[in-house]
Amino acid sequence: MPVDVIGVLGWVGVLSDIQADQVTEQVDKWLPILLGVLAPALAATKTHQGSDSTATDADAEVASLLGSAHDVADIVVQQVKTVTPQDVASAVLAAIRAEEKGEHDTAAGTAATAEASTDYVYGR
């Protein structure tokens, strides 16, 4: 295209043959450099973070849910790390004592205890 412009300017008489050769030589030197600078600059103005991504809204939602699940797992792991063997032993001992006294935490456990005590015949 620059050669076409130079050809038209030479045909009109604005440039002589020698001037046209000199201009063509300079254009041949500088055009690759200009294109090497301008092409990436133009590409940078037309792209943004994620512009090449093929992810859909469903993919983003799944990633969000997985991130939330990961956060919950991290919290649980941190809480489990704070539990000591003494805490576990105390909880087991408290559960055994509650079972011996007939104190159950669940409604099903309470119903089972009541049923067992009505069916129980002393001495058998």
Q: What is the pLDDT of residues 60-113, one digit of tens each?
A: 888 888 888 888 888 888 887 787 888 888 888 888 888 888 776 655 555 555
pTM for the full model? Answer: 0.28
Nearest to 102 by CA among 90, 91, 112, 113: 113
Q: How much is the average pLDDT of 47-51? A: 73
Q: CB 6: neighbour CB atoms within 10 A?
A: 18
Contact 6, 15 (CB under 8 A): yes
pLDDT for the residue 35:
84
CB 2 within 8 A of CB 27: yes
Is the pLDDT assigned to residue 116 strictly greater than 80?
no
